[in-house]
Amino acid sequence: TVGAVARDAAGNLAAGTSTGGFTAKRPGRVGDTPIIGAGTFADNATCAVSTTGTGEIFIRFTAASEISARIRYASQTLEQAASGVIAELFSNGGDGGLIAIGRAGPPSLPFNSSGMYRGFVLSDGVFRTAIHRE
């Protein structure tokens, strides 16, 4: 699975996710990637999210829109909401990670698996990438 989230100069947010699923999956099985609110979500008022991992758990917990809800209704920061959802998924058998970006500030890139191919760039234009827990 691959994904991106972005905030533009006008303050608009967007999210995109694309996947092949997992190796030797049951024919016809669809994970969270195309399920809006689970693997892909964007709302200017809160955040944009793209996820990767055990799709069934991310669907059942509507992971992406859950982050938005915690920001909107529990006044959590992006980092609190994103990390909290990843931790809760892990305790329910969901491993993987996500990237999220809010109305302002840096993105959040939490994961509970052994690693996540990831990167981000801020308004300084510097490209930062990582794979494991570096």
Q: Which residues, numbered 50-69, are part of the site for other proteins (CB under 8 A)?
A: 50, 52-53
Active site residue 51: no
Total residues contacting other proteins by CB under 8 A comes to: 76
97 neighbors 52 (Cβ within 8 angstroms): yes
Nearest to 102 by CA among 131, 81, 74: 81
User: Can you tell me the distance from the alpha carbon of 8 to that of 11, in angstroms, rounded to the nearest whole number?
Assistant: 5
Q: Which is nearer to other proteins, 13 or 81 (CB)?
A: 13
CB of 125 to other proteins, least distance (A): 7
Catalytic residue among 1, 51, 54, 62: 1
* Span 94-123, contacts to other proteins by CB under 8 A: 95-101, 103-104, 106-107, 109, 111, 113-123
Neighbours of 81 (CB within 10 A): 26
* Span 17-36, contacts to other proteins by CB under 8 A: 17-31, 33-36
Side-chain-side CA neighbours of 10 within 13 Å: the count stands at 4
Active-site residue set? 1
